[in-house]
Amino acid sequence: MPASRRGRIRTLAAWAAATALVAGVALAGCDAEPERGPGVAARPSPSPKPTPEWDTSPASVAAVGDSITRGFDACGVLVDCPEVSWATGGDARVNSLARRLLGPAALPARSWNLARSGARAAELPTQMARAAAKRPGLVTVMVGANDACRDSTALMTPVPDFRASLTEAMRELREVSPKSQVYVSSVPDLKRLWSTGRGSAIGKQVWKLGVCASMLGNADDLGPAATERREQVYRRVVAYNEALREVCAKDRLCRYDGGAVFDFRFTGEQLSPWDWFHPGLDGQERLADIAYAKVTEGGGDG
């Protein structure tokens, strides 16, 4: 082959290689982050999905739970008195959570007391489904006392069943009303209520009718068997409260009271003068105080 032709071939090969190299660099540059001069801000990364902010002024309130939320024995003997309920009552002496949040005039149209005296956790999903249908801004939950207050400790609701009922109740709410906030009250310390109420002769007579027999039965018996029985109830309430905390913690729009109701030291002034066990007017007001403080504290998530 003539030398001149071989030279042209080498020149064309070199040109092709150079072209390929330039093209490769250009393609790589398409994927690389471009260089920035001084003072040029980096491209912002996508923002994470924001956590829902807790509304400290919900527009409506629904209450689910048991006799405490129904104001049982707060106005009369062995009767409900929902007008003095800590959650939704309209009585100015108690100044319920709903009254403080909504104002007295709005209560009839924007608050609903769906609790039932005697209710246990197993009933909570049904109550919560009724609450969800209202699509409330806030749902209050107070349940568990009747699960521990049975004729005997053997009949107390097992903790796994209690937790399962709470979980199902939250599921019922979220399927219909995903934006409703939830305030969960701890179960009161039933042992402390026994210790306080046993100083009343009238109260002990009412207790004999079967009020929370697992804790209040044979109120003056301080023997080993009775003491152990009361300790079993106490431990079960502690376990219920832990279940309430755990289930609530899994929902971003749920606030647990942190054990505030359990820790509250009810005195004779706060207990019903008819049964010395359920909260009276003053006790209902204290419960409203605790709930309002928790619902309105700060912003942030649930």
Q: Which of the pair, 209 or 279, is modelled with greater confidence?
A: 279
Instruction: Give the model's pLDDT for residue 104.
Output: 96
Asked if residue 86 has pLDDT above 50, the reply is: yes
Instruction: Give the model's pLDDT for residue 13.
Output: 41
Instruction: Give the model's pLDDT for residue 135.
Output: 98
Instruction: Give the model's pLDDT for residue 52.
Output: 60
Region 65-86 average pLDDT = 96
Asked if residue 302 has pLDDT above 60, the reply is: no
Rounded Cα gap, residues 164 and 219, in angstroms: 32
User: Hey, is 64 helix, strand or coil?
Assistant: strand
In 135-222, where does DSSP find H-type helix?
A: 145-148, 159-176, 190-197, 201-207, 213-216
Asked if residue 259 has pLDDT above 70, the reply is: yes
The pLDDT tens digits of the residues spanning 16-52 come to 343 333 333 333 333 333 333 444 444 444 444 444 6
Asked if residue 171 has pLDDT above 90, the reply is: yes
Element (H, E) at 63: strand 61-65
Asked if residue 211 has pLDDT above 50, the reply is: yes
Instruction: Give the model's pLDDT for residue 216.
Output: 96
The pLDDT tens digits of the residues spanning 89-105 come to 999 999 999 999 999 99
| Banded model confidence at residue 298, pLDDT cuts 50, 70, 90 | confident
- Choose the weakest-confidence range: 120-134, 205-219, 248-262: 205-219
The pLDDT tens digits of the residues spanning 150-160 come to 999 999 999 99
Region 228-241 average pLDDT = 98
Instruction: Kindly indicate whether the domain formed by 61-296 is annotated with CATH number 3.30.870.10.
Output: no
Query: What is the pLDDT of the chain when averaged over all its residues?
Result: 86
Instruction: Give the model's pLDDT for residue 43.
Output: 45
